[in-house]
Amino acid sequence: MGESTLVSDNTQAGRRTIIASVVQTCSARYSVKNTLKKLEDLVSEGKGRHGSQLMVFPEAFIGGYPKFSTFGTVIGERSPEGREEFLRYHSAAVDIPSPVISSIERISKTYGAFLVVGVIERDHGTLYCTVIFVDPELGYVGKHRKLAPTALERVIWGQGDAKTLSVVQKSFGRVEAQLTAAICWENYMPLLRSYYYSKASGSHIYCAPTVDTRTEWQSTMQHVALEGRCFVLSACQFAQEKDYPADHAVKNPEGRGDVNVMIRGGSVIISPLGKVLAGPMYDQEGILTAELDMDDIVRGKFDLDVAGHYARPDIFQLVVNGAKDG
Amino acid sequence: MGESTLVSDNTQAGRRTIIASVVQTCSARYSVKNTLKKLEDLVSEGKGRHGSQLMVFPEAFIGGYPKFSTFGTVIGERSPEGREEFLRYHSAAVDIPSPVISSIERISKTYGAFLVVGVIERDHGTLYCTVIFVDPELGYVGKHRKLAPTALERVIWGQGDAKTLSVVQKSFGRVEAQLTAAICWENYMPLLRSYYYSKASGSHIYCAPTVDTRTEWQSTMQHVALEGRCFVLSACQFAQEKDYPADHAVKNPEGRGDVNVMIRGGSVIISPLGKVLAGPMYDQEGILTAELDMDDIVRGKFDLDVAGHYARPDIFQLVVNGAKDG
Amino acid sequence: MGESTLVSDNTQAGRRTIIASVVQTCSARYSVKNTLKKLEDLVSEGKGRHGSQLMVFPEAFIGGYPKFSTFGTVIGERSPEGREEFLRYHSAAVDIPSPVISSIERISKTYGAFLVVGVIERDHGTLYCTVIFVDPELGYVGKHRKLAPTALERVIWGQGDAKTLSVVQKSFGRVEAQLTAAICWENYMPLLRSYYYSKASGSHIYCAPTVDTRTEWQSTMQHVALEGRCFVLSACQFAQEKDYPADHAVKNPEGRGDVNVMIRGGSVIISPLGKVLAGPMYDQEGILTAELDMDDIVRGKFDLDVAGHYARPDIFQLVVNGAKDG
Amino acid sequence: MGESTLVSDNTQAGRRTIIASVVQTCSARYSVKNTLKKLEDLVSEGKGRHGSQLMVFPEAFIGGYPKFSTFGTVIGERSPEGREEFLRYHSAAVDIPSPVISSIERISKTYGAFLVVGVIERDHGTLYCTVIFVDPELGYVGKHRKLAPTALERVIWGQGDAKTLSVVQKSFGRVEAQLTAAICWENYMPLLRSYYYSKASGSHIYCAPTVDTRTEWQSTMQHVALEGRCFVLSACQFAQEKDYPADHAVKNPEGRGDVNVMIRGGSVIISPLGKVLAGPMYDQEGILTAELDMDDIVRGKFDLDVAGHYARPDIFQLVVNGAKDG
Amino acid sequence: MGESTLVSDNTQAGRRTIIASVVQTCSARYSVKNTLKKLEDLVSEGKGRHGSQLMVFPEAFIGGYPKFSTFGTVIGERSPEGREEFLRYHSAAVDIPSPVISSIERISKTYGAFLVVGVIERDHGTLYCTVIFVDPELGYVGKHRKLAPTALERVIWGQGDAKTLSVVQKSFGRVEAQLTAAICWENYMPLLRSYYYSKASGSHIYCAPTVDTRTEWQSTMQHVALEGRCFVLSACQFAQEKDYPADHAVKNPEGRGDVNVMIRGGSVIISPLGKVLAGPMYDQEGILTAELDMDDIVRGKFDLDVAGHYARPDIFQLVVNGAKDG
Amino acid sequence: MGESTLVSDNTQAGRRTIIASVVQTCSARYSVKNTLKKLEDLVSEGKGRHGSQLMVFPEAFIGGYPKFSTFGTVIGERSPEGREEFLRYHSAAVDIPSPVISSIERISKTYGAFLVVGVIERDHGTLYCTVIFVDPELGYVGKHRKLAPTALERVIWGQGDAKTLSVVQKSFGRVEAQLTAAICWENYMPLLRSYYYSKASGSHIYCAPTVDTRTEWQSTMQHVALEGRCFVLSACQFAQEKDYPADHAVKNPEGRGDVNVMIRGGSVIISPLGKVLAGPMYDQEGILTAELDMDDIVRGKFDLDVAGHYARPDIFQLVVNGAKDG
C-alpha cells in the first residue's frame, strides 16, 4: 500500500540525519586552476575525515574577494589602473557552463559530496557574486546570484534577479533536504529570507557564504536559524596577504607581510532551535562539520513556523516578481 | 426540445434520493497504514451492507485527534518532550497530494463511494485539520482546512484560509448535490455557514466532521439543518485508549485501560426540516445511514431561504476575502 | 485612583447577577386597553413574586398574532372581508410614540422593571412586528422591527430595516447588560445574529420573542446561546380561542371552543454555555424566572468568541447598511 | 451622411416605426415543455400574420401564475400539502441560464422577433417573478426581477434588487429603442418608474407584463404613458381552469369547469400621448399589434419630460442603490 | 388609561368620514373683489346644501387663468402690448398675507369650512401659481407654489421650491386628515407625489386643482388615488368668454361669443381604491360632493403602501432638498 | 534658517539624543490598582534618577503574564476551573479607553515621560496582548495588538490585525522619533519587521516588550538593530512566585517559594550598528537607561537600508492588508 513520501511512518526506526561541513578557506591568488586544486583537496578531506555529504564554500571562493581594493574609483573618476585591475579580476571569473563548472562536477561526483560554492560568475561584460549548487549525481543543478552587493562591491558586481532564487531539492539517502543560499549581507534582507522560508520550510538547509567577519555576524546567523527554523551553514573566507597577487591592496600598506590577515573567518553551523553545532572558527583555515538531525526542523516548527501557522497571510502577502514558482 | 437541468419537468416520475452514511470511528494508534486499512474496511461495509453513495468520516480520522494531550505546553514554555510528541504527530500526517491520497482515491473508486474524510494535513512545518473530498470517478476534488482551531488545538494546528472554502459539486446518478464541510466548532461560525448557504443553497449536503461529544452538539446540528435548509451529516469519532499510542495522555491517568472511552461519539444525520434521520449514536463504533430525499430542501426553502427570500441583502452583505468565487 | 468600569477589580467580592423573566401570555381579543391591563398584572406578579428586574413578553403581545387567519388573500386576489379584517387589526396596533407607549412607560416605572415587549407597530398605512425596550428610569429607549416576516405574515406586516437594529445598554445596579431582540424566525438569520454578537459581545442578553411552538425551537435557542455566548430569553405566546375575537379563524373550524389552544407556548431561558435555566413551558400561561450570572458570558467566551478570537475578520467581513453605528 | 440618432432629419423621408405586439395567453398546466410549444406557436403567428418585431408576453407565462392558491398558508402555519405544491411549482420554474432559456433564444432567432417574456425564475431555493429580454441576434440580453411581490405572492416569490433594473438597448433596423419592464403592481412604484424614465427617456418602450385584470388597470397604463412619454405595452394573462393542474384552486370550488375564467386579460398598447393604439382585450387569448411611431416620444416630451425639463433636480434627487449604472 | 390617538380602539363604534367638495368655477374677469364674492357664494352653497367640511377650488381661481393668451411673446421678442397685459394680470394677483387673504379667512370661519384655493400669488415682481390652505379656526395655515409651470406658463409664472411642499394637518371632528396640493401637471411629477405619499400616508387627502380638461386627466386622477391610496379631489375651472376681459384672446377669434367655452371642466372625486365617488363633471359650473370614509385608506394600504411595505427603501431613496421636514 | 529634519546641519553644534529606558519588572498579583502604583513608582524613578524621556515596560505588565498556567486545557477539553481562571484573568485586563488608561495618561503627564507599556487589553469577550503608547502631552496616542500569540497563549489571547500596526511620531525636544512595537515572538515575523522598517526608516525606535528570557533572545535583538538600522529597546519581565496569586501555577510545584523566579528578565538596549548600549540584565528588577544618538541611524543606513537602497522592490513587494497607511 502506498505511503506518504515526505516523512516515514512513525512506526519505522532510525534517525534522519545529514553530515554537513562548512569550509573556511580562500582563493589562490586569483588563479582558477590553483583554486580548483584547493577545492579538490578540501572536498577530499571533508569526505575522508568527516564523512561530509554536503560541503559549503565561502563567497567568491573561485574568482576571489578583492578586499581593500578600490579599483581606482573616486566619485566622478575612474583610473586606467583600475580598469586594468578589473580586467585581471574579470579574467579570473567563471562562465556557467564552462570547463571550470565541469571540473567541479567531476570533483563532486568523485567524492560523492554535494557542493555549494561561492564563485565570481562572468556573464559577458558583467561579473556576479554567485553561488552554485553541484549534485554528485546530477552535476550542476542551480545557482544564486547575489541580489544586492554592498557598498563598493556595486562597482564590480552586477545585481542578480529573481530567476536565481533557487531552492534545490536533494535526497541524502532517504533524507530529503531543500537548499538555498544567501550571500553575505543578503542575510539582512528579510523579504528574501521570507521567500526562502516559504519555499523550503519543510527541510530547509540555509547556506550563507560570506566574507563578513564581524562578531555581530554570529547573532545574525543564530537569529536566522531561529526565525526560519532551519539549519544555517555559514562559510566565511580566511585569507592572508599571500593569497592575493603581490600588488594587491592591503589594510595597512606600511606593514605588509604574507601572513597578514585579510579576512579572518567566522564560519559556523547552527540548528533550527538556535544551538551552535560547530564554530564559530576564526583566524585559520579549516573544516567545521556537524550531523544535522532533520527532525529538529519539525521540532522547531512546533511553536514557530513563519511561513505557516505564524504567518498571518491575511495581513502580509509577499509578492515576488519573476521567481520561477511565483 | 431542451429542458432545464436542475430539476426535472414536474410531469416526470421518480424520487430524487441519495444514500448517505456517517461513520463513527477513529484512527489506529497514529498509524497511517493501519488507518487506511480501517478506512477500506468501513467503506466496504458501508457500500456492501448499506449501499452508501456518500460516506463522511470524522475530524482527524487520518492523523488522529490527540485528546487530553498538552504537548508539553504551559504559558510561556514548551518542553523537549512536547517537541518529540509533535514530531511523532507530524510524521503521522498526510501531504496533499501524496501516496496516502492516492490510496484513498483507489478505495473510493473501488467501492464507488464519494468520501468526505477528516485528515491531519501536513504542509511543510505546519499541520492543518482538514477535510478532503474524494470522488469515485474524479479522485481528489477539493479540501477544506479548519479556519479556527479551538483552544489548545491552536498549538498544534495552523489556521485555514478562504482558499479552501470548497463547495464540491457531485452528481449521484441524476441527482445533483453540493457538498461542504465545517469541522467541529467551525459550526459555531455563523459567517462561515452563511457563506456555504449562499453558495450551495440548491442541493446542499452539509458535512460536519467533529470530535465534539457534548449532548448540546445535537442542538447545533439540528439548528444548522433548519437554518440552512440542508442535510446535515455529522460524523464524530469514537475512540478508546487502545486506539492511541501506549504513552498517550488520558483523562484519569490512574485508571488506564484499553477500553477507556476517549471520545464517545454522537454522529447524526438530520433533514432540512430538522428531522433526525439517523442517530445520534454514542459509545460504539458504527455506521449510520439514511436516504436523503433531495426535494426536502426545496420543501424547506418554501418558508425559509437564508440566502434567498429571507436574506435582506439590502441590509447585510457578507464579504469573503480570498474565496475562489468571491 | 481610577479603575476600569466594565468589570470590577478581581479582588472585590460579589456575584454579578440579574433576575430576569420571560412571560408566556397573549393579547386580549385585540383590545389594546385590556392587553395593557394584562401587562400591568403580569409585571406586578413578576416583580412581586419573582423579583424580576427584566421581563420579556412575546411577539405581537400588544396588537395580537392573528393565527390561522388568511386575511382573505389568495394568489392574485384580496377580498373586501380581508380588508375589513386588516382595518380591525390596524386599529389595534400601536403608534410610537403614543399614549399606549406612555402607559407602558408608567408600568415599567411603577414596578421598577425593564420591559421588552412585542407589539404590532402602526406607521401610517403599514404595520410592523416590533419589539420595544422600556427602561424604568428612562422610559422608551428603543425598538426593533422584524426584518423578514415569514410566509403569510408578509401580507400584513412590512419589513424593518437597519435603523432598528437596536442594542440597548442597561445598568441593573452595578451590573451592565446589553439587550437585543430577534423576533421569531429572525433567529434563523445568521447575519443578523452576527451583527448582534459583534455589538453586544460583552454582556449580551438576547431576547427572542416568538410565536414558534415547534419542539425544534428549543434546539435553535440552545444553539444561539452557545454560538453567541449570551443569555437567551425566549418568550412565546400561549393563546386560546377565547383570546381572539369571536369570528377569528381557528385551525379546525368544526371544533370551536374557548379553551382550544391556538398557540401552545415554549418559553425558555438558557445560559451562555447552553444550560437550560428555566422551561421550556408549554400549554399554560405563566412566568419563568432565572438568575443570570453575567460572568458566565466571559466563562463561555474563554473558548468561543464569534466576534472576537473566533471571528477570522481577515476572511469574513459583515457589512451592515444603514445601521446607526455602522 | 451623419444622422442624429434620436430623431430623423426632417428633410429625409420615412417614418421611424416598430411593429410591436402584446400576447394575451397563459402557461400550459405548469408544463415547461408545453408552454415553450405555445410560445413558439404564438411567436410564429405574431411574426407571420402581424409582422411583429417585438412581442411582449405576460407575467409568469413560463412557470405559471397560481391564481387562487394559498399554498396551504395561514398566519403562523404552513402545511405539508403547501410544501408539496411549492415543490411542484418550483420544479416548473426556469434557471437562468438553462436549456429553457436556450430554447427561447432559438425561437427568437428563428422568427426574428425580440421577445420580452414573463417567467418564474428559480435561483436555488428561492423563486422570482422575472421578465427576460431575448434578442434574435444576441440571445438572452437581460432580465428584471419583480421588486415587490403583492400580498400572498410574498410567500412564494423573493424580492428582486437593483441589479436587475435592466434598460435594454435594441436597434430595429435603423430605429433605436430602449426597453424596460415593470411587472404588475411594480407599475405603482413611482420611484421605479422614475428611474426607468431617467435611463430610457429618448426612445422608451415600457413593457408591463401583468395578471391584473381590473378595469382600473387601464387608467394606470394610460397614466404611465402620459407621465413617461413612452410607449406602454401591457400583456396580461388569459387563463381558464383547463390551463391549470386538475387539483388547482379555483375561485368557486363548487362550480368547477374547464372553461371557467381564472384570469380575464386586459392587454393594451398605448402611445406616449396617451392614445390607446390597441385593446384593451378581455375574455380571450390573442395578439394585439400596433405600429409604434417612435417620433411620438419627442412629440410628447415637448411639453412634459419628467426626467428633463420637468424634473426639478434642484429639489428632488433619486438615489438608486446598487443599480449597474448608478 | 391613555389610548392611541390616530385610530380609535376597535371596540368603539362609528364611521370616520369627512364631507368634501370640489368646486368647478372660474374667476370674474380678473376682478379680485368679484371673485371673492363668487367664493363666498360657493362656500355658502357648499356648506348649506352639501354640508361640506372641506372645499377645493380650481387652479388660478383668484387671479385667473389667461387661457389662449400669448402675452405678445415670440421667440426673441416681446411686445409692448404683452407687457401691458402682464401689468393687468399682475395687478389682479394676491399678496400673502394681504386683505384678500384675510377675506378668505373670514369666509372660511363664517361657514366653518376648510378651504383649498388656487390663487395667482404676487411676490414683488414675480407671480406664482399657488394654492392656499385656510382653516376655519386657524386661518391661513400654508401654501404650495407650483414647481413646474407648463409651456407658455413659464413666461408668466415663476417656479416654486421645496419650502412650500406643505402637508397640512387638520382634525375634522375626531377624524384626522393630512392635506396636500399638486397643481395641474405637477400631477405628472412622480417624485413630488412620492414625497407627498411619504409624508401623508396615513390619512391623505390629495388636492389637485387644475385647468386640464383632457379626458386622459381622469386616468391620471384615478391612477394617483390607486398609487397613493389617498382620496383625490380634483377641481377644474369651467370658464366662458364672458368670464374674461373683453379683449382677451380666444381660440377662434372669428367666432366670439359670451358663452364660448374657454375651459370645460372635468372635476372629480376618487377614493383610495380607485372608485369614482363624484364626477367627472364637464361643461358647467357646479359643486361635486362626496363622503370620504377615511378607513378606506387603511383598507387600501392593506395590499399597497408605496411609502411603507411597498417602498423598497433599500433600493430607492428620495432626497428632497430644502423641504421643511427633510 | 531652514533645517532638514532628518539630520542636523553639520555646521551646527549639538547632538541629537534621547534619554531612553527599559524597565524590567512585572505586574502585582493581577491587581490593576497595585500595578498602576508600581508603574508610577518606576516612572518616577526613571525620570528622577535617569532623566528618561522615553520608558518601555514589558509585555503584559498590566494584566500579567500567566506563566506556567494551562488554564485547564488539554486537547479537546476545557475544565470549569480553567474558565474560572480565565474569568479572573479577564477581570484584571484593561479596556481602551478606560479609567486605567486615564491613570497612565496622568502618570505620563506628571513625570513628562513618553510611555510604551505592555497591557492585557479586554475587548468584550476577547483578550489581546497589547502595547499602548502614551504621550505626556497628548495622552494615549495608539496601540499595537500582538498579531501571533505563541503556543498556549493562543488559548487566552486573540489575534491582532493590521489596524494596530502603529507607527507613532514623537518629538523629543527638537529630535524626532518614530516608535513601533513588536511583542515577544512577533520579533520573529520578518514581514512585520519589514513593514515597520518601511514606515519608520528615518528615526526608528523599535520597542520589543517581551517575556522571552532565553539567551538566544539577545542575538535576535542585535540582529534586528543591525537589519533595521534602528534602536532596539527590549523590556522583559522579571517576576517571582510572590508576584502571582497564591494558587497560580509554577514550574516545580513541589518547590514553591516566594522568591522562586518565574521570569528571569533579559532587557537590553542596542544601537543601529548592533552595539549593546545597556544590559542585558537578568535576575533582578531594574531600569536600564541609555542615551540614543539618533544620528547613528543614518550612519548605519549608509551601507544598509533594507527599505531603501537595499530593498530590491523590483523583485519583492510587501502587501499589507488593512493597515492605516496601506
**Interface confidence (ipTM) of the complex:** 0.92
C33 CA: distance to closest CA in chain E (Å) = 7
Using an 8 Å CB-CB cutoff, list chain A residues near F191: 190-191, 194, 311-312, 316, 318
Does a structural domain hold residue A311?
no
Nearest CA in chain D to E163: D315
Contact assignment for A2 to B157 by CB distance below 8 Å:
no
Smallest CA–CA distance, residue D108 to chain B, in Å, is 15
Q: Average pLDDT of D94-100?
A: 96
User: Do strands D261-270 and D276-282 pair parallel, antiparallel, or not at all (unpaired)?
Assistant: antiparallel
Residue E76 pLDDT grade (very low, low, confident, very high; cuts 50, 70, 90): low
Q: Are chains B and E in touch, 3+ Cβ pairs below 8 Å?
A: yes
Grid cell, residue F124, equals: 468584550
Interface contacts (C, F; CB < 8 Å): 91
List all residues 6 or more positions away from D94 whose beta carbon is below 8 Å from its beta carbon: B4, D32, D62, D63, D100, D101, D119, D120, D121, D122
Q: Is E316 on the interface with B (CB under 8 A)?
A: no
Measured between CA atoms, how close is C46 to chain E, in angstroms?
Answer: 22
Is the Cβ–Cβ distance between A305 and A200 less than 8 Å? Answer: no
Over residues C36-80, the pLDDT tens digits come to 999 999 999 999 999 999 999 999 999 999 999 999 999 888 899
Q: Which amino acid is at D150?
A: T
Q: What are phi and psi of A21, to 5 degrees?
A: -130, 150
Nearest CA-CA distance, residue B73 and chain F, Å: 6
* Strand ranges across the sheet with C139-145: C139-145, C126-135, C114-123, C54-56, C17-24, C286-293
Q: Which amino acid is at B167?
A: V
**How does residue D14 score in pLDDT terms, banded at 50, 70 and 90?**
low
Most confident of A42-56, B188-202, D241-255: A42-56
In chain F, the residue whose alpha carbon lies closest to the alpha carbon of C295 is F87
Question: Do residues D263 and D214 make contact, with C-beta atoms less than 8 angstroms apart?
Answer: no
Predicted confidence (pLDDT) per residue in C241-299, tens digit: 999 999 899 887 787 888 999 999 999 999 999 999 999 999 999 999 999 999 999 99
pLDDT in tens, A106-139: 999 999 999 999 999 998 878 899 999 999 999 9
Helix boundaries (H) for A229-311: 295-301
Inspect the structure and tell me whether chains E and C have 3 or more CB pairs less than 8 Å apart. yes
A162 Cβ under 8 Å from any chain F Cβ = yes
Confidence of residue C312 (pLDDT cuts 50, 70, 90): confident
D33/B contact by beta carbon, under 8 A? yes
Residue in C197, C218, C226 closest to B220 by CB: C226
Note which residues in 182-211 of chain E have CB less than 8 A from chain C. Answer: 201-202
Catalytic residue (choose from A67, A105, A129, A184): A184
Q: Where is C50: in which H helix or E strand?
A: helix C32-50
Taking an 8 Å cut-off on Cβ atoms, the answer to whether E320 and D320 are in contact is no
Is the minimum CB–CB distance between A314 and chain C shorter than 8 Å?
A: yes
The reply to whether F316 falls in a domain is no
Catalytic residue of the set A146, A170, A199, A301: A146
Q: What is the structure's pLDDT at A72?
A: 81
Q: Does C314 touch chain A (CB under 8 A)?
A: yes
Q: Which three cell numbers stand for residue F310?
A: 537595499
Residues of C in contact with D65 (CB under 8 A): 75-76
Query: Which candidate, B170, B169, B130, B136, places its Cα nearest to that of B153?
Result: B130
Residues in chain E with CB shorter than 8 Å from the CB of B314 are 312, 314-315
Q: Does D241 touch chain C (CB under 8 A)?
A: no
Of B70, B153, B263, Cβ closest to residue F70? B70
SS3 A182: coil
Whether residue E322 lies inside any domain: the answer is no
- pLDDT tens figures, C17-37: 999 999 999 999 999 999 999
Coil, strand or helix at B19: strand
Q: Does F230 touch chain A (CB under 8 A)?
A: no
Query: CA triplet E157, E158, E161: central angle to 5 degrees?
Result: 135
pLDDT tens readout for residues E192-231: 999 999 998 678 999 999 999 999 999 999 999 999 999 9
| Torsion sign, CA atoms A137, A139, A144, A149 | positive
- Which residues of chain F have a CB within 8 Å of the CB of B66? 75
On whether any CB of chain B is under 8 Å from the CB of D137, the answer is no
User: Residue D173: pLDDT above 50?
Assistant: yes
Which residues does chain B have within 8 Å of residue D30's beta carbon, measured at their own beta carbons?
Answer: 10
Please say if A59 is a catalytic residue.
yes
Percent of chain D with pLDDT over 70: 94
Question: Domain span at residue C8?
Answer: 4-301
Element (DSSP H or E) covering residue B31: none
Quick check: do C and D touch, 3+ CB pairs under 8 A? Answer: yes
Residue F317 maps to a domain: no
Distance between CA atoms of residues A173 and E49, nearest Å: 116
What total of structural domains would you count in chain A? Answer: 1
Interchain proximity B315–E315, CB inside 8 Å: no
- The string of pLDDT tens digits covering residues F73-110 is 988 888 889 999 999 999 999 999 999 999 999 999 99
Q: Sign (positive/negative) of CA torsion B222, B226, B227, B232?
A: positive
**pLDDT tens, residue by residue, C158-178:** 999 889 999 999 999 989 999
Locate the chain D residue with the closest alpha carbon to B303. D155
Q: Per-residue pLDDT averaged across D11-17, rounded?
A: 65
| Model confidence, pTM | 0.83
Residues in C closer than 8 angstroms to A312, CB to CB, are: 314
Identity of the residue in B8, B10, B297 whose CB atom sits nearest the CB atom of D125:
B297
Task: Please check whether residue A315 touches C, CB under 8 A.
Answer: yes
Written in H, E and C, the secondary structure of D163-225 is HHCCCEEEEECCEEEEEEECCHHHHHCHHHHHHHHHHCCCCEEEECCECCCCCHHHHHHHHHH
Angle subtended at Cα B211 by Cα B209 and Cα B217, rounded to the nearest 5 degrees = 85
Helix E216-228 vs helix D216-228: crossing angle, to nearest 10: 100
Q: CB distance from B98 to chain A under 8 Å? A: yes
What pLDDT does F11 receive? Answer: 34
Looking at residue B12, its pLDDT comes to 41
Q: Is C9 near chain B, with CB under 8 Å? A: no
CA–CA min distance A319, chain C (Å): 18
Cβ–Cβ contact B319 with D under 8 A: no
- Domain at E236, CATH number: 3.60.110.10
Q: Whole-angstrom Cα distance, residue D70 to residue C74?
A: 5
Distance between CA atoms of residues B80 and A271, nearest Å: 15
Q: Hey, are the CB atoms on B76 and F263 less than 8 Å from each other? A: yes
Catalytic option among C146, C170, C199, C301: C146
Residue F66 to residue B75, Cβ atoms within 8 A? yes
- A interface mutation test: which of B34, B81, B91 has the most A CBs within 10 A? B91
- B244 Cβ neighbours under 8 A, 6+ residues apart: B29, B30, B64, B66, B67, B250, B262
CB contact (8 A) between residue C148 and residue B188 = no
| Alpha carbon distances (Å) from B240 to B117, B166, F238 | 20, 32, 44
Greater confidence, D120 or B10?
D120
Q: Which of residues 34-53 of C touch F (CB under 8 A)?
A: none
Q: Is residue D67 part of a domain?
A: yes
- In angstroms, the separation between the Cα of residue E315 and the nearest Cα of chain B is 7
Q: Is residue C165 part of a domain?
A: yes
Q: Of the candidates B297, B322, B146, which has an alpha carbon nearest to the alpha carbon of residue B225?
A: B297
CB-based contact F240:F261 (threshold 8 Å): yes
C-alpha A290, offset from chain centre: 16
Distance CA C315, CA F240 (A): 41
pLDDT confidence of residue E178: 96
**Is D41 part of any domain?**
yes
B227 in C contact zone (CB under 8 Å): yes
F71, C8: Cβ pair inside 8 Å? Answer: no
Q: Is F318 contained in some domain?
A: no
Q: Catalytic residue, from B38, B47, B143, B146: name it.
A: B146
Chain F touching partners, 3 or more CB pairs below 8 A: A, B, C
pLDDT at position E296 over 80: yes
Please say if B230 is a catalytic residue: no
F83 touches chain B (CB under 8 A): no
pLDDT at residue D201, as a whole number: 66
Q: Please check the confidence at residue A10 and state whether its pLDDT lies above 50.
A: no
- The chains found to touch A (3+ Cβ pairs under 8 angstroms) are B, C, F
Q: How far is CA B210 from the centre of its chain?
A: 7
If DSSP codes are grouped into helix, strand and coil, which group holds residue C167?
Answer: coil
- C73 chain-D contacts, CB cut-off 8 A: 70, 151-152
Q: Which of A188, A197, A304 sits opposite F185 (nearest CB)?
A: A304
